[in-house]
Chain A
């Protein structure tokens, strides 16, 4: 099947408006006759569920957590971008579009990104109307801050908990519709297959995670808002339950999977402390505004620090290597995420890592404390020579800016970051790849939609900070509700879809058999044992830098591990009860397939772009080398084993932006 992205004709700035005017609508009385299933209740799924229910459709929403409010969008810290230009600093729809395409290393679709920038302002209006308590200035107007890689202040925020507040906003909009009976909410339910009838998505098979019951649910369309697949690495900043299962089942039923190798490795996370580690914690990008990143210049100092004989604060200024400032004088510590992550890895690989495992660098606030302290002393007319006073005043400023993050760090690392530099290391954070969708957010299966991080999205090969929240809400509030209507307008006479159809029967049987296999397989190793091993292969071979040899090894190893998993996995308990291990087994089984496709995709992409760095394709200075012949989306069609997946290319055209080298020097 040829890929048709269905991008409307006409000038870039008019496409969305024209498209909205051209597509079919469903009359309000007929909307009552149409059912829509939404899987996942994060920013994308939650906002879509609320909006579709308001429009009058009958919505059934599913989440695996005990409440829709707990989806992992809640953990987003920094903020949400919108081209409001409230600061009058030259922001515009075009600039947000431009920054996003450039930030994505010219691997995203122009028309989608422009639409995203266009609706971004509406999101802020909407959220304020819903009572989201964004930060305000003393005049009572909304405050903004800057984020990495851009030249304007367009980021709206609610302390360090912007994701939480936006998600609770979407949750409140859902609650209103649940109260009215327009959304039927299924908490603690996991989607285990999508049901295709006559080539169209017509329902799902779900497992009730409390009783273990397998349920059939029908609808006229199915929407996946199920997030990203970062947990294929085992350790990531994702929640423990975040998984690829819904997206992967859709892939196996015919939805193409796009750019699986595009992964964002976030530079500032708390390092791994030992083999017991279950997840990683992010420290907001905003810290790089004031923190300076360094490692010792000399190996002997590294040794002394690792053995505890030298404290980082004792090391003289000239013995420190502020490697980002050294390599990228123009952007310094504020280079984009992919660049900062690779630079940290390079130093640690060379043996300069500062913790016991050799995988940590310092993020130091001493200079900021001194600078702010002097500034405060000057403002208050106090002595600028009193070191203790300067130190105290400086710490107060840093505390006001980053207090909650410092406290979070101290709880985990048991060190006081006001007194000694933080230790940080890159960690898997976000996946730009996902289910392929057209301009209407429809997958290659008619009636199946993917929104938010679950789709291959608008971020190309690298996502800018504060853009994930924007995309999730844009898709759910303002894009999908229009585009899905065009599809559903053909279903006004269809009537309720019966769950007795043979296609439901077949899908349920498949799910039941897979569960029975896990329960009856009396292996010897826990699910986590395999998940950890998969994560190690992914991190070592498909992580921050990749090469042909390693990727080929990864494919072999993952394939072998998958076979071993099915033979050796041990799932305690029964199918008919609350059984977390059983749920996990299914998720890891899907990660074991996705992981292989991921490596295959990375092997195919013989270039470096954004989050995908191939060692063979770099400039003499070690920077990423993009190649024109790879200016396409790789969309994979399922054909059985991941190794047999068939590639479809969607060429990317840039008519409104000049494709340039990214340089931060």
Chain B
């Protein structure tokens, strides 16, 4: 396949940035999207040009490092996949592909397609944990039975990879799906209930402080989420927040 790529280039956080056109040829349909970018970068390097910076690490859809807004969709066409799991067979010969970073006020661009998602980490510092020391002197793991249903639901929420597709996709740049998933994981488990009030208040406070927008229930986040995290988690977080606010 031969393709035209229109890629966002931005030297650093202070640079204005612009779209730049590139051509790539002889792209195999078996390549992953990131391998196609590797081909481009190798050509750029050997020509003495600056390669396109993008984040990636595990390349199997679990680390959450890769991002990219491809043809107007977070992680590109295809559902329940990350960019590294996107393959070139989803495209046709002579296609033009637009590649941009995830854009949100809380995710400033570092370089080209690389963004700073440390806002997510800071929301987690505010309450994304259970306050138990790692001494090993806890009670036996089987001493609190947890219904299979609750454990499975908590697992579904916990499967979030923190990639930020929900934020990038949302017209309000809201992080409610991300925060809702973490709040839900703990709210569904008995171990998490002790601190539930403080957790939800603190995490939402930090979420707002980071400049993420509000949720207006468009549901775009759920559609673009590579792990299929359900909107129910946002609803559950709202209930937790209401409960906590009334208590507080």
Contact = CB atoms under 8 A, between A and B. Distances in A.
Interface of A: 47, 50-51, 54, 65-70, 72, 74-75, 84, 86, 119, 122-131, 133-142, 158-159, 161, 164-165, 168, 171-173, 175-176, 178-179, 185, 187, 210, 237, 239-241, 273-274, 276-279, 281-282, 408, 411-412, 414, 477-478, 524-526, 528-529, 570, 572-573, 577-578, 580-581
Given A131-B189, A172-B128, A528 B38 contact: yes
B130 A119 contact: no
Contacts of A408: 60-61, 85
Contact of B191 (A86, A128, A273, A525): A128
Interface in B178-195: 185-186, 189, 191-192
A65 B57 contact: yes
A133 B185 contact: yes
A137 B62 CA distance: 26
29 contacts: A50-B134, A67-B120, A68-B121, A70-B58, A70-B65, A74-B58, A75-B63, A128-B141, A128-B144, A131-B186, A131-B189, A131-B191, A139-B145, A140-B148, A158-B158, A175-B124, A185-B121, A240-B56, A240-B57, A240-B58, A274-B30, A277-B35, A278-B35, A412-B87, A414-B30, A528-B42, A578-B53, A578-B110, A581-B45
A276 B28 contact: yes
Contact of B134 (A67, A133, A477, A570): A477
B87 A570 contact: no
A127 B132 CA distance: 10
B134 to A, nearest CB: 5
Contacts of B146: 136, 140
B184 to A, nearest CB: 11
A124 B141 CA distance: 6
B140 A276 contact: no
Contacts of B46: 524-526, 570
Interface of B: 11-12, 28, 30-32, 34-35, 38-39, 42, 44-46, 48-51, 53, 55-65, 81, 85, 87, 89, 110-111, 114, 116-118, 120-121, 124-126, 128-136, 138-142, 144-148, 151-152, 154-155, 158-159, 161-162, 185-186, 189, 191-192
B138 A125 contact: yes
B158 A133 contact: yes
Contacts of A72: 57-58, 63
A173 B132 CA distance: 8
Given A125-B139, A175-B121, 13 more contacts: A47-B134, A69-B64, A69-B121, A75-B60, A129-B191, A130-B134, A131-B130, A136-B145, A178-B121, A278-B35, A572-B44, A572-B48, A578-B12
A558 to B, nearest CB: 22
B59 A239 contact: yes
Given A172-B128, A572-B48, A580 B120 contact: no
A84 B143 CA distance: 13
A125 B141 contact: yes
Question: 8 closest Cβ contacts across the A-B interface?
Answer: A140-B145, A122-B136, A172-B129, A129-B138, A179-B125, A133-B155, A128-B141, A133-B154
A3 B120 CA distance: 45
B59 A175 contact: no
A444 B189 CA distance: 44
Contacts of A528: 38, 42
A577 B111 contact: yes
Contacts of B118: 66-67, 187
A580 B44 CA distance: 14
A66 B129 contact: no
B162 A67 contact: yes
B65 to A, nearest CB: 5
Nearest to A185: B121
Contacts of A573: 50
Contacts of B120: 67
A173 B61 CA distance: 24
Given A137-B148, A276-B28, A173 B111 contact: no
Contacts of A581: 45, 51
A572 B51 contact: yes
A363 B226 CA distance: 27
A141 B142 contact: yes
A429 B120 CA distance: 30
Given A54-B134, A578-B12, A74 B30 contact: no
A49 to B, nearest CB: 10
B147 A173 contact: no
A477 B136 contact: yes
B131 A176 contact: yes
A127 B138 CA distance: 10
| Residue from B57, B142, B192 having most chain A Cβ neighbours under 10 A | B57
A70 B132 contact: no
B185 A69 contact: no
B142 A142 contact: yes
B124 A578 contact: no
Contact of B58 (A129, A136, A239): A239
B134 A240 contact: no
A210 B64 CA distance: 19
A405 B38 CA distance: 26
Contacts of A524: 46
A519 to B, nearest CB: 13
Contact of A580 (B53, B63, B131): B53
